[in-house]
Amino acid sequence: MDETDGALREAAALVREVPDFPEPGVLFRDIGPMLASGPALGAVVSALGRSAEFDVVAGVEARGFLVGAAVAQAFGTGVIGLRKPGKLPAVADRIDYALEYGTAALELPADTLRAGQRVLVVDDVLATGGTLGAACSLVRQSGAEVAAAAVVLELTALRGRRNLPGEPVEALLQV
């Protein structure tokens, strides 16, 4: 185990399990306490940024914004936000998808990505894969490339990777 593994292991211990949130039957993994720790956030940001070579980060609303902006700053790139509907003044594209609990959509802001840019897609959690799949599709439909789809935590029981065939998924932690 190297220094990075040790720091990530300590970070993993800060993930809180919340039964029956946001609805009965869902075991919610709350990475809030992990992000609130400076050393844990530092370990997560460094590891995510090493997932691939990239020109810009695309963070997924909402918790992907927290991690994505930190990765962009640490690695000297800009960041764009892939947003829930109704937030953007100008929308380039939209994709609707299914969630572990409910349905959702993501929108790509206009005039952000350029063709050929290498994009590091960042989110906090990979569950069923719908969100990450929509994020990657938005990036690709814009003409940019998905350098990696990087998440802090993968919930393996939900088999999200099955819904992301061919996507370069990188998960720092798995439960």
Task: Give catalytic status of residue 162 as yes or no.
Answer: no
Q: Of the ranges 24-32, 35-43, 54-62, 135-143, which one interacts with ligand ADE (CB under 6 A)?
A: 24-32
Read off the amino acid at residue 47: A
* Active-site option among 100, 154, 167, 170: 100
CB nearer ligand ADE, residue 112 or residue 124: 124
Q: Between the CA of residue 139 and those of 66, 109, 136, what are the distances in Å?
A: 19, 11, 5
CB nearer ligand ADE, residue 139 or residue 153: 153
Q: Are 118 and 54 in contact (CB under 8 A)?
A: yes
* Active-site option among 63, 107, 167, 170: 63
Question: How many chain residues are in contact with ligand ADE, going by CB under 6 A?
Answer: 8
Cα separation, 64 vs 49, whole angstroms: 13
Chain center to CA of 51 = 12
Please enumerate in sequence order all residues whose Cβ is within 8 A of that of 146, keeping only pairs 6 or more positions apart, or say none. Answer: 119, 121, 136, 139, 140, 167, 168
CB nearer ligand ADE, residue 26 or residue 92: 26
Interface contacts to ligand PRP, rule CB under 6 A:
60-63, 99-100, 104, 123-132, 160
Q: Applying CB under 6 A, does 29 fall inside the site for ligand ADE? A: yes
